[in-house]
Amino acid sequence: MRAGFGGIDLNSVTTLFSVFVAENKLRPIMIEKIDASKVHHNQRPIDKRMLSLRIDGPGSIGADLVELSEDYSVEGKKIIKEQLSSEKDLGLIYHYELAEMIGDPKKIENRLSRFFDNGVNWDDSKSFIFKDIRLPSSVKAGDV
């Protein structure tokens, strides 16, 4: 039996991750549309700090930590830290999301499944950018 969403206050729920999605592509993983009057909308500010993919040449990719523009775009972004390294910046890489558009619902479904099955909250795109990185450890049941 599925838990209902009636009366839930999204401001009091731990956020697993925030990413940009192509909403029309998510239909295959949607179960139901929730009536907006049945939930208290999340009023917390959206984190503008994200990882931005950088391509420095053929076969040379990495990421910068950036602050998105006022309209949440990488166009006009402010660079906080350039050329993150898995040795020196592992905490930042684990903490921040990639500023990418996710159009494949399987990516979100797989990430959620991994989290609920193993407690590991990880975007596989980071493993593509930082080839030597290990997945973060799982979280304890009470942490979420």
- The predicted structure's pLDDT at residue 139: 60
Q: What share of the chain is helix, strand, coil (3-state, %, to 5)?
A: 30, 20, 50
- The predicted structure's pLDDT at residue 23: 79
- The predicted structure's pLDDT at residue 3: 54
pLDDT tens for the chain, 144 residues long, are: 345 566 788 899 888 998 888 878 888 888 877 788 888 888 999 899 999 999 988 888 999 999 999 999 999 999 999 999 999 999 999 999 999 888 899 999 999 999 999 999 999 999 999 999 988 887 644 444
Q: Is the model's pTM score more than 0.85?
A: no
Integer CA distances (angstroms), 89 to 61, 72, 102, 135, in order: 15, 23, 24, 14
- The predicted structure's pLDDT at residue 143: 46
What tokens were used for 31?
Answer: 């179960």
- The predicted structure's pLDDT at residue 88: 96
Integer CA distances (angstroms), 41 to 3, 19, 56, 75, 83, in order: 18, 17, 40, 28, 36
Say if CB 101 and CB 22 are below 8 A apart. Answer: yes
- The predicted structure's pLDDT at residue 114: 94
- The predicted structure's pLDDT at residue 39: 85
